[in-house]
């Protein structure tokens, strides 16, 4: 293959305030999984940089659970589709697909023989279903609730029992198979968020928005105790997870703590304080082998440390919202990837290990639209919060003084030698020097979209919705119109100069890339056809002979400058999501990102 996937840096879980988030565990204890958008993300619990992304759902996925055999995963989405797919092969072949009810699936449970499934959520008439995994035929009914069911679990030893928890403040207990409603448990005063059987089946626990956890006998459903007396947490409890030996329980709460309980003695073993910010609310947890994972409202995954409850062992960061732009930069011998997302976060990734973090301090408050690194090793970024920021890549700390406020929302920027930055705003072109505005072209006579500065400095190319590239020259602190325009084949969506400054590549909404030769007074050098939809991003390889383009058709093409026919096509680079940005780490390594909030590295080999 001329290309192969080298690394996948996965997105974080998609979380929303006040809604519990389920993190699934692999029965062998190696992986954990969660959902974001239309993707199911499977990560290695010992080394979370190893990730796999399943993207076959047509709608947003809510929950995914491993079968106890470990060979299949069942995942459910907001339309009520349940997909059961293979985990052993790279292709993740679909085994079965069912529609148990019409509405969002909120939780899934398997029996220990991996033969039956219970699925619950927001249905119209019914809120749950139990059926055989291979035929879909019913093995009982989930009844007894009159509101949406949030959680379900099946006892992992015979005789089977099912317990459910619902927004009607009740839990319900079922015996089977065939599963029949036995009785309702109405000890809680608020929504029941999570119900879980212990691995040995002797107990089950229910947790609720009223801050209480109750423990019951797994076989009869009789109440054993309430953990912590009348209150287990000061806030709603979103998730609980049993230890593998069934003696302890981990709970995650909106009061920004997680706790470990000794269920036998009804006592707190450890309290983990996660912080004081609202983003430190804990919405999910998982006890996997020796790892204790909890999930914050920020989307960060915390590895809890029993010996030091106030500081997690490690925190997995990343993006949980779609990524709009990325750039790469060598810093101290390592190459870093910088990615900016829809909610204003900027993250940096070590391109080798996938270790990542965000900048400290307060940064952009809205979508980061474009980023570039200038010659002083500063990351220059523009955002929909109407600012341009300069952030030092050695300090990696947002500072208040390096923010330049724009009068109009900026869309794109480019950096050039001599401290120059060109910024395209709505209906306006701004030239900046040394972090200060020095010149503005108000109403250039067309709507500017994108901008590039020639690597040698001097020339600024601005692409417009009018389907033309307009050239300007930098003269001291002013921009002078060169009265020269280049014709693209449609509204310009991105443009880039090759690193040696010899060529300018322009891509447009009419699916064409046009390359102009700078030395021949910007004569048209070649035209590249192949995309099936609007092209949105373009980037040159350091060898100046190849460049890559990404489009709304979810394709990435790597083109050869001298021969438009020789192209490498990467289909489904980010399946079901179009590629939003591209960059090259070196001549053979391409980085892509997309609205699925993940970053991928590809090895490209030329013939």
**Whole-number pLDDT of residue 401:** 67
Query: Which residues does residue 10 pair with via DSSP β-bridges, in sequence order?
Result: none
**Whole-number pLDDT of residue 450:** 96
**Of residues 325, 388, 317, the one with CA closest to residue 359:** 317
Residue 183 to residue 172: CA distance in whole angstroms = 6
**Whole-number pLDDT of residue 400:** 66
- What is the distance of C-alpha 300 from the center of its chain? 11
Q: Model-level pTM?
A: 0.88
Angle (nearest 5°) at CA 56 between 53 and 58: 125
DSSP state, 397?
Answer: B
Tens-digit pLDDT profile for residues 298-336: 999 999 999 999 999 999 999 988 999 999 998 878 899
SS (H, E, C) 132-154: ECCCCCECECCCCCCCCEEEEEE
Residue 547 to residue 96: CA distance in whole angstroms = 41
**Of residues 245, 252, 255, the one with CA closest to residue 294:** 252
The beta strands (E) that lie in 488-562 are given as: 492-497, 503-508, 512-517, 523-529, 535-540, 546-551, 556-560
> Which parts of the chain sit beneath pLDDT 70?
1, 400-401
């Amino acid at each position: 293959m001329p290309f192969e996937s080298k690394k996948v840096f996965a997105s974080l879980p998609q979380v929303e305030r006040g809604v519990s988030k389920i993190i699934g565990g692999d029965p062998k204890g190696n992986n954990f999984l969660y959902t974001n958008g239309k993707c199911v993300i499977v990560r290695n619990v010992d080394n979370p940089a190893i990730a796999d992304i399943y993207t076959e759902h047509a709608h947003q996925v809510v929950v995914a659970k491993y079968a106890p055999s470990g060979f299949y995963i069942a995942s459910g989405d907001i339309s009520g589709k349940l997909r059961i797919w293979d985990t052993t092969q790279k292709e993740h072949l679909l085994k079965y697909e069912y529609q148990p009810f019409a509405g969002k699936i909120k939780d899934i449970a398997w029996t220990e023989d991996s033969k039956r499934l219970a699925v619950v959520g927001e249905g119209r008439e019914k809120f749950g279903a139990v059926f055989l995994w291979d035929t879909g035929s019913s093995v009982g009914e989930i009844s007894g609730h009159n509101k949406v069911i949030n959680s379900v679990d099946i006892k992992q030893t015979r005789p089977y029992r099912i317990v459910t928890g619902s927004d009607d403040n009740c839990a319900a207990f079922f015996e089977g198979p065939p599963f029949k409603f036995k009785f309702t448990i109405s000890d809680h005063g608020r929504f029941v968020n999570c119900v879980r059987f212990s691995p040995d089946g002797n107990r089950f626990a229910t947790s609720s928005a009223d801050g209480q956890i109750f423990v019951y006998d797994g076989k009869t459903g009789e109440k054993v105790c309430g953990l912590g007396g009348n209150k287990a947490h000061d806030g709603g409890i979103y998730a609980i997870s049993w230890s593998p030996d069934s003696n302890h329980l981990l709970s995650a709460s909106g009061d920004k703590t997680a706790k470990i309980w000794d269920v036998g003695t009804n006592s707190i073993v450890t309290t983990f304080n996660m912080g004081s910010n609202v983003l430190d609310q804990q919405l999910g947890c998982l006890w996997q082998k020796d790892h204790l994972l909890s999930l914050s409202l920020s989307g960060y995954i915390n590895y809890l440390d029993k010996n030091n409850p106030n500081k997690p062992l490690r925190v997995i960061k990343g993006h949980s919202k779609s990524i709009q732009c990325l750039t790469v930069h060598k810093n101290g011998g390592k190459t870093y990837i910088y990615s900016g997302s829809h909610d204003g976060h900027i993250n940096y990734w070590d391109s080798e290990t996938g270790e990542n973090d965000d900048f400290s301090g307060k940064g952009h408050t809205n979508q980061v639209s474009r980023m570039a690194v200038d010659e002083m090793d500063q990351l220059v970024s523009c955002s929909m919060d109407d600012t341009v920021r300069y952030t030092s890549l050695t300090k990696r700390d947002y500072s208040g003084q390096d923010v330049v406020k724009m009068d109009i929302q900026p869309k794109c920027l480019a950096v050039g030698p001599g401290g120059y930055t060109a910024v395209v705003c709505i209906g306006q072109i701004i030239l900046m020097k040394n972090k200060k505005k020095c010149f503005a072209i108000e109403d250039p006579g067309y709507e500017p979209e994108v901008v590039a500065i020639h690597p040698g400095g001097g020339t600024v190319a601005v692409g417009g919705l009018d389907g033309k590239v307009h050239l300007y020259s930098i003269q001291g602190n002013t921009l002078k119109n060169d009265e020269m325009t280049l014709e693209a084949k449609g509204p310009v969506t991105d443009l880039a100069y090759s690193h040696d400054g010899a060529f300018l590549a322009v891509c447009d909404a009419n699916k064409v890339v046009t390359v102009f030769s700078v030395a021949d007074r910007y004569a048209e050098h070649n035209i590249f056809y192949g995309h099936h939809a609007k092209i949105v991003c373009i980037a040159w390889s350091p060898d100046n002979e190849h460049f890559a383009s990404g489009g709304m058709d979810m394709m990435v093409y790597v083109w050869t400058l001298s021969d438009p026919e020789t192209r490498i096509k990467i289909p489904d680079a980010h399946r079901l999501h179009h590629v939003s940005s591209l960059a090259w780490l070196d001549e053979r390594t391409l980085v892509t990102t997309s609205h699925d909030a993940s970053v991928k590295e590809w090895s490209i080999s030329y013939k």
